[in-house]
Amino acid sequence: MGETSTKPYLLRALHEWCTDNGYTPYITVQVDEHTRVPMAHVRDGQITLNVGTLATNKLVLGNEFIEFQARFSGVAENVWVPVAAVSAIYARETGAGMGFEVQPYEAPSADDAAVPADATDVEPGEPAPADGSDGDDDEPKRPRLTIVK
């Protein structure tokens, strides 16, 4: 068995750091066929998601996947992204965070768990903030990131 990636541990640590300091943790994700997000909010193959405790329900920051429920345009959606697709995590208010190399997702064998049954593609709908926020005019700070390979 190979060594476990540090990426999910760093994501959890920076999520906790943001929360402890009263910041809003955002993740940027490269969207592909293995990513389940509201497609109406994807721009240039990426989506930025608010993964703060007030914006998510049932948040799981796992070693292979990040999954949670969030509201987009007032509609509750299930979100499911491979950790490998996360390109950054940062504090919305300060931009402090970390960037990551995006790796192609390797699907588990048929015997392993795959995409959850309730994680389905969402049809495009009414435009709304892609970060899951309520649409206020406060722009997030540009992330200041350190790339980890």
Query: Tell me: the pLDDT tens digits for 9-23?
Result: 999 999 999 999 999
Residue 31 pLDDT > 50, yes or no? yes
Q: What is the pLDDT of residue 104?
A: 82
Q: How confident is the model at residue 138 (pLDDT cuts 50, 70, 90)?
A: low
Please state, as a whole number, how many other Cβ atoms lie within 10 Å of the Cβ of residue 61.
20
Higher pLDDT, 26 or 149: 26
Higher pLDDT, 116 or 80: 80
Mean pLDDT of the chain: 82
What's the rounded mean pLDDT across residues 121-130? 39
Does domain 6-101 fall under CATH 2.30.30.220? My reply is yes
Please state, as a whole number, how many other Cβ atoms lie within 10 Å of the Cβ of residue 130.
18
Q: Is 147 exposed, middle or buried (0-12, 13-18, 19+ CB in 10 A)?
A: exposed
Residue pair 146/98 in contact (Cβ under 8 Å)? The answer is yes
Residue pair 72/61 in contact (Cβ under 8 Å)? The answer is no
Q: What is the pLDDT of residue 130?
A: 45
